[in-house]
Structure 1
Amino acid sequence: MPPNAGRYRLRGVALGYRARIVDVTVTVAATGAGDGTAAVDLTLEAVPQGLGTVVTAATRSGQQLGNVPAAISVVSMETIQGTGRRNTNLEEALRTVPGLVIRDQLGGASRVTIAIRGAGSSNAFGVRSIRLLIDGIPKNNAGGSGQDLANLDMASVQSIEVLRGPASTLYGNQAGGVVAVTTEAGGETPRRQLQVLGGSYGFARVHGKATGQAFGGAVSYLGSAWRTQQDGYRANSNFDQTGFSSKLVYRPNDRSTITGVMSYDNLGQDVSGALTLEEFQTRPRLADSTSFLTLNGRRLDNFGRLDEFRFGLNVQRTLTATEQVETQVFYVPRATRSPSLAQYIQQSFVNRGANVRLLTTRALGALGNRFTTGVDFQDTPIQTATTGRAGTTSAGRSFSVFDEGATTYGVYALDELSLHRDVTLTGGVRYDNIRFRQQNQLLASVTEPRTFKRVTPKVGLTYRATPSFSTFANFSESFEAPVIGQLRNSPAPTGEFVTNQVVRPLTVRTYEVGTRGAAGRASFEAVVFRQSLRDQPVNVSFARPAPATGQFAALVNAAEVRQWGVETGAQLALTSALTLAGTYTYSDFAYDRFVAGTNDFTGNELPGIPKHNAFAELRYRDARGLTGGIEVQSVGQFFLNDANTVTNPAYQVVNLRLGWERALGAAQVAPFVAVNNLFSEAYSSQPQINAALGRYYNPLPGVNYSAGLRVAW
């Protein structure tokens, strides 16, 4: 019997492919003639997994993962935007990556930090020691550091590449690892999506986006806008964020691609401060009373606000069958205003720059070859003013007006030579020149600028035994210059605010071997590495010269660190609907030497990094549209200070997600619910390393909920 005439929706699901839904119209003649069938063209898109995945972060040239002699992870759009995700920061997506520790300070707000193999582990907020790129535009300023990880629309991210380990050969200063985020580009079929979420502690979020193509496919577009707010788990931890992002890709011909991005973010965040161990254990929702100002019997908040635009233009042009050139320019203005006890700190800067890259795949004799060379330029002028807070006795008074900045340029070359069909030799080198300038406009003295120059090499070998299995080894060097704020004080007895001319950059030397592959329904990776860090700078106290009294802190090179570790990950498709995935990281990081003043911490473990860090996830998605997942994060105990006298307790956190994707007329609807910290584990994820007054801990919520609805059409 033929079916009723009408519009039907079919869902195709296959192991190793992304599920797809298509609409089918069936017509049946009034006489009942005909068989009531309709032809359906249902093509499934392969999920980008395995060694054929093309990556850019490790080579800046678009090489296949199986040929790259480095530890690199690729996080897919399905993991990033999967049903039940809050998409408020990077933490949900990156906790699945071995060798990386991402920490959420306030539970879903913007204050997260990232550490890769220890790089960035002591940072209190934002990015330091690693490179974060969004569509190729650096979040780091020219000096290497980055602020809160705002202006990042996770619900529009297509993929994230994480290069684990030193990357100065390609990215220069402060590149102990790379996180490269790529946003969506519109597909052939126009798509609109609206998502509404709500949850515990006043969490509410609305997000909308549209993607598609125009002018016969010559233009692809993405546009999104969002609003997020929450009261927060702890006192004085409320948060709000409003923003938009857009991306246009224009292909005027088959040899050229022009990509433009523009985004804006307005973010407000109160900071509740860190707690003592006793407060963490007994009153975790408390705010740090020592970090707030009380005026006329009323405690003032620490609410700060940020505005940031991001503009970028990228032009790719194929010159010949073997040559391609790419040029990118970017301009990122940013302004912040935040209180600190009786003072306001106002800062504005512009992160601007350009880079040019040339790729040639011309063979070298009978050997296949890929050669990449390029030039990077970046400049960041920064103005920072500290003034008295309204209502205080110092209202309107200027305490400091810093006029600072950094300018950097780097030249690099990387060659990938196919010695054999299955063997690739990679070698690269880069030269960097970084110039810091700074002046306190309230002081008559002139501070001399500081320039750092470095050459960093890399060599690696990859053996691809089969199309689905490869092994690699590499040696590389990296460096990390001090950031602008660390250079303000010199240890010389001439006084404070004299640009530090003594401290040297941290140098990292890395040896690494690894393997990756796939067999049947399973994929895996395993890496072993050893690193040595020389000239690690630390803060040391110095006496102020007479007639002044007291002490001030300045940066000196006082430590050397040895590190070795193991990073593993695996994924197994148990059935067409059920997938098991997990990672495990072992980190043994210790000071080979650390003598500063009266302190001798030689032999102590590096604070902030757990020896054991594991993640496991069981995901479910069936042909009826039912989705779900349960994930477990297990983090071992780690030290919170260089003296190794205070520890952060080990913790295990279990999260649960459940959703249902179904057709409703011409739309696809997906209600979902998520339960985080299912067993209400008491834990602190992002501690304050070497904190004053014993205030190390930033407690996160016990069991908490979120629910929402996503509608796409």
Structure 2
Amino acid sequence: MNKLIWGGAALSAGALLLPQAQAQQDRQLEPIVVSASRTEQTRFDAPASIDAVQVDPLTAASPLVNMSELLPATPGIQIRERQNYAQDLQLSVRGFGTRSTFGVRGVRILVDGIPATMPDGQGQAATATLTSTRRIEVLRGPVAQLYGNAAGGVVQVFTEDPPLAPAAPFARASLGAGSYGQRQQDVTLGGGAAQLGALVDVSHYDTDGYRDHSAAERTQANAKILWRPSSSTTVTGIANVFRQPLAQDPLGLTHAQFESNPRQVASVAKTFDTRKTIEQQHAGIVVAHKLDAVDSIDARVYGGTRQVMQTLSFSGSAANSAGGVVDLDNSYRGAGLSWTHATRVNNLPLNWTIGVEADDLDQTRRGFVNNNGVAGALRRDELDGASNVDLFGQADWTFAPQWKASAGVRASRVRLSVDDHFVTSASPDDSGSVEYRNTSPVLGLTWFASDSFNVYGNLGRGFETPTLTEIAYRAGATGPNLALRPSRSTQGEIGIKWRFGAHSLDLALFDAQSDDEIVPLTTDNGRSIYQNVDKVERRGLEASWRTDAGRFGTQLAYTLLDARFRESYTSTQNGTVAAGNRLPGAPLHSLFAQLEYRPVPKLTTAVEMRIESKAYVDDVNSDAAPGYAVFNLRAGKELRAGPATWYLYGRLDNLFDRNYAGSVIVNDSNRRFFEPAAGRRLFIGLRATL
């Protein structure tokens, strides 16, 4: 009988085992992940729904501008490049985050261990420097709740480390151009001695935009210093700059506009010159130290600033309006410390981690009258704050040779505050504060049936506080909506992971029940006011298939997401929302398929297909973005010329020039719900590394 090696013990295995040598080889090829338990393990062994997308900045057959280029083959996640760089990507996991009209809500984002999600739950995906990224992990389901507020899912980005001697220094550069005036450049330099190395990556991207009034320009720089003073200590220093001096906002279109001419722009976008500029800088230090054979500690400290100027599609001149120009000046900081201990009980592994995290945000928010794109009179001036202090613990116990139990808990305290500095007869003092407390427990069980077959289940509770923007106003009175409660969810999942030869299959069934879901109540003078509703359900199925056999490789990723309101409610903005209505922005079916063909060494070609069913645009399901199917082609060839390695690649997206809505602006009060995807577009790039 074959033996399964797990935690150092020789275990009895079932009849489904591969030959031992082949099984161990396949396990070694599995990507390493850390998101599920904060310790390194293979994705196959992780007792949760998690995917790790490996990124090679040299041979990736895409410009590496948006995270949506890298995650289409990951089930359970919707990530859309909106052809609108003023509003960032639209990202949701298992239906959490679909209500966000800008930025990312309901999903935690971390880059090299440093949060890109603020304490109030509002996050940004665009600031990750993909041209120096090596791996992206996507964690879904109950285990994600252990990351705290708004963790309907977790997306972690890991950038490449500098090379330490004896690894050779390197230089990498890329150029690319494509349809609609796309231009991309990138330079990466890395090198070091035996204990100290550094890497710097600088990239620039600009586009004229697929739609009218949608031009954008951005520059990113990512620097990383790696110091290993001993075999037990690693110190990583990170600095990142994100500069977006131009991002025109074409706004959404009505259904009639979308069908007649998807490249047009709403007239008010030009009238008020809707756009956004962003300047962000942050730096952090991450320390990993092994105390002895069984104990290790990890620590982080970080800080940064983010300045945002945005012009909206109205003047905001009324005396009680917040203005049509938004000026945000953010400063943020945080620290974290965790201790991991590995021991054995009855000669079987028991590992646990305990830790504390604290994060803080100060936001100066000003609003001005929008005089056709020019800031006018002051209409809002306040200092907003968001902070959290979280304690967490997590343990994995292999209590029998083929069984592992997992348990975790996170206690969170989140505080939001508003200090109003603009007090007039028409705009009384809106100051106030609120504090939320929550405890999120998670339990899990995994059966390692064989070297190639795992079964797992998880059950947990989580929460999602309102953001500073969502508590800003209340109905029928001035001041913040401090009565708005955090959404609380109970989630469960059952999944299997099966590896056989060059093939892999992952399946997961999930269910999430939420109370106090945060939804729109009304919009007044540009001010969105929110309320809580109960009994929102998200349930479904995720399936992914991968195979790599000789010259051919295939990938399939399917998501069935049935997300509904199970109880009716009424809002001034939407009217009566009937029980059974679907959540907007959440298609019932999503399928990605890819066939890759490698006719000769170093040459890769592929055809990609994406199919989605219709997505409703608002809570009352008054309209929907039609379902669609699109096809893409890509090819890449690696070449050697002296000391340099070259990579030439090209993409042809939306091959048949399909007119479809890439995303929807949910619950838009002007009924401009539709954001058209780009038509047929070509991108060609050349990279070289030395």
Q: Counterpart of 1:488?
A: 472
Out of 48, 71, 74, the position equivalent to 1:70 is 48
Out of 181, 189, 196, the position equivalent to 1:210 is 189
Distance 1:396 1:282, change over 3 A: closer
Out of 456, 459, 466, the position equivalent to 1:472 is 456
Out of 155, 159, 164, the position equivalent to 1:179 is 155
Q: Counterpart of 1:240?
A: 217
Taking the TM superposition and a 5 Å limit, the aligned residue runs for 1:156-555 are 156-167=132-143, 169-187=145-163, 188-212=167-191, 214-215=192-193, 217-267=194-244, 268-293=246-271, 301-340=273-312, 341-342=314-315, 343-389=324-370, 396-443=376-423, 445=429, 447-491=431-475, 493=476, 495-497=477-479, 499-541=480-522, 554-555=529-530
Distance 1:199 1:108, change over 3 A: farther
Q: Which moved more, 1:48-57 or 1:89-98?
A: 48-57
Report the Cα distance in structure 2 between the residues aligned to 1:589 and 1:630, rounded to whole angstroms. 30
Q: Is the Cα–Cα contact under 8 Å of residues 542 and 559 in structure 2 kept in the other structure?
A: yes
Q: How far 1:167 sits from its partner (Å)?
A: 4.5
Residue identity opposite 2:185 in structure 1: V
Q: Is the Cα–Cα contact under 8 Å of residues 27 and 42 in structure 2 kept in the other structure?
A: no
Report the Cα distance in structure 1 between the residues aligned to 2:380 and 2:26, rounded to whole angstroms. 52
- Between the two proteins, the alignment pairs up a number of residues equal to 647
* 1:592 matches 2:574: no
Q: How far 1:281 sits from its partner (Å)?
A: 1.0
Residue identity opposite 1:304 in structure 2: K
Out of 77, 80, 98, the position equivalent to 1:103 is 80
Distance 1:517 1:351, change over 3 A: farther
Q: Which moved more, 1:425-434 or 1:67-76?
A: 67-76
Report the Cα distance in structure 2 between the residues aligned to 1:272 and 1:119, rounded to whole angstroms. 26
Q: Is the Cα–Cα contact under 8 Å of residues 670 and 710 in structure 1 kept in the other structure?
A: yes
Report the Cα distance in structure 2 between the residues aligned to 1:47 and 1:437, rounded to whole angstroms. 54
Residue identity opposite 1:373 in structure 2: I
Task: Tell me the alpha carbon deviations over residues 196-236 of structure 1, each in whole angstroms, 9 at most, x when there is no partner.
Answer: 00011110011111233x22x21233211111111001000
Residue identity opposite 1:176 in structure 2: G
Indicate the SS of the match to 2:432.
coil
Q: Is the Cα–Cα contact under 8 Å of residues 544 and 557 in structure 2 kept in the other structure?
A: yes
Q: Is the Cα–Cα contact under 8 Å of residues 560 and 594 in structure 1 kept in the other structure?
A: no
Distance 1:173 1:367, change over 3 A: same
Indicate the SS of the match to 1:485.
coil
Report the Cα distance in structure 2 between the residues aligned to 1:93 and 1:168, rounded to whole angstroms. 21
Out of 673, 682, 686, the position equivalent to 1:705 is 682
Report the Cα distance in structure 2 between the residues aligned to 1:711 and 1:48, rounded to whole angstroms. 31
Distance 1:709 1:356, change over 3 A: same
Distance 1:53 1:664, change over 3 A: closer
Distance 1:622 1:354, change over 3 A: farther
Report the Cα distance in structure 1 between the residues aligned to 2:365 and 2:239, rounded to whole angstroms. 25
Residue identity opposite 1:286 in structure 2: Q
Distance 1:48 1:266, change over 3 A: farther
Report the Cα distance in structure 2 between the residues aligned to 1:163 and 1:468, rounded to whole angstroms. 21
Report the Cα distance in structure 2 between the residues aligned to 1:453 and 1:262, rounded to whole angstroms. 32
Q: Counterpart of 1:582?
A: 556
Report the Cα distance in structure 1 between the residues aligned to 2:234 and 2:528, rounded to whole angstroms. 50
Residue identity opposite 2:349 in structure 1: G
Q: How far 1:153 sits from its partner (Å)?
A: 1.5
Q: Counterpart of 1:144?
A: 121
Residue identity opposite 2:521 in structure 1: V
Report the Cα distance in structure 1 between the residues aligned to 2:547 and 2:187, rounded to whole angstroms. 33
Q: How far 1:456 sits from its partner (Å)?
A: 0.8
Q: Counterpart of 1:127?
A: 104
Report the Cα distance in structure 2 between the residues aligned to 1:81 and 1:551, rounded to whole angstroms. 45
Q: Counterpart of 2:5?
A: none
Q: How far 1:430 sits from its partner (Å)?
A: 1.1
Distance 1:400 1:472, change over 3 A: same
Report the Cα distance in structure 2 between the residues aligned to 1:225 and 1:129, rounded to whole angstroms. 30
Indicate the SS of the match to 2:268.
helix
Q: Is the Cα–Cα contact under 8 Å of residues 168 and 479 in structure 1 kept in the other structure?
A: no
Higher gyration radius (CA): 1
Q: How far 1:391 sits from its partner (Å)?
A: 7.2
Q: Is the Cα–Cα contact under 8 Å of residues 167 and 176 in structure 1 kept in the other structure?
A: no
Please tell me the root mean square deviation across aligned C-alpha atoms, in Å: 2.2
Task: Tell me the alpha carbon deviations over residues 402-439 of structure 1, each in whole angstroms, 9 at most, x when there is no partner.
Answer: 21011101000001001122211001111100011102
Report the Cα distance in structure 2 between the residues aligned to 1:168 and 1:197, rounded to whole angstroms. 37
Indicate the SS of the match to 1:278.
helix
* 1:57 matches 2:32: no
Q: How far 1:100 sits from its partner (Å)?
A: 0.6
Q: Which moved more, 1:177-186 or 1:337-346?
A: 337-346
Q: How far 1:599 sits from its partner (Å)?
A: 1.5
What percent of counterpart residues are identical?
A: 26
TM-score, normalising length: structure 2 = 0.90
Q: Is the Cα–Cα contact under 8 Å of residues 177 and 684 in structure 2 kept in the other structure?
A: yes
Q: Counterpart of 1:40?
A: none
Q: Is the Cα–Cα contact under 8 Å of residues 510 and 531 in structure 1 kept in the other structure?
A: yes
Report the Cα distance in structure 2 between the residues aligned to 1:349 and 1:167, rounded to whole angstroms. 30
Report the Cα distance in structure 1 between the residues aligned to 2:254 and 2:209, rounded to whole angstroms. 19
Q: Counterpart of 2:546?
A: 571
Taking the TM superposition and a 5 Å limit, the aligned residue runs for 1:625-704 are 625-704=602-681
Distance 1:58 1:696, change over 3 A: same
Q: How far 1:168 sits from its partner (Å)?
A: 5.7
Task: Tell me the alpha carbon deviations over residues 521-553 of structure 1, each in whole angstroms, 9 at most, x when there is no partner.
Answer: 1011000111111111222249x9xxxxx9975
Report the Cα distance in structure 1 between the residues aligned to 2:558 and 2:375, rounded to whole angstroms. 52
Report the Cα distance in structure 1 between the residues aligned to 2:547 and 2:30, rounded to whole angstroms. 18
Distance 1:441 1:554, change over 3 A: same
Distance 1:387 1:552, change over 3 A: closer
Q: Is the Cα–Cα contact under 8 Å of residues 685 and 699 in structure 1 kept in the other structure?
A: yes
Q: How far 1:512 sits from its partner (Å)?
A: 0.6
Q: Is the Cα–Cα contact under 8 Å of residues 58 and 688 in structure 2 kept in the other structure?
A: no
Distance 1:350 1:49, change over 3 A: farther
What stretches of structure 1 of length at least 5 have no aligned partner?
A: 1-45, 294-299, 545-549
Report the Cα distance in structure 1 between the residues aligned to 2:622 and 2:226, rounded to whole angstroms. 54
TM-score, normalising length: structure 1 = 0.87
Indicate the SS of the match to 1:698.
strand
Q: Counterpart of 1:153?
A: 129
Q: How far 1:302 sits from its partner (Å)?
A: 2.0
Distance 1:515 1:51, change over 3 A: farther
Distance 1:280 1:446, change over 3 A: closer
Report the Cα distance in structure 2 between the residues aligned to 1:678 and 1:247, rounded to whole angstroms. 38
Q: Is the Cα–Cα contact under 8 Å of residues 470 and 528 in structure 2 kept in the other structure?
A: no
Residue identity opposite 1:475 in structure 2: L
Task: Tell me the alpha carbon deviations over residues 149-177 of structure 1, each in whole angstroms, 9 at most, x when there is no partner.
Answer: 33221121100110012446421111000
Q: How far 1:446 sits from its partner (Å)?
A: 5.9
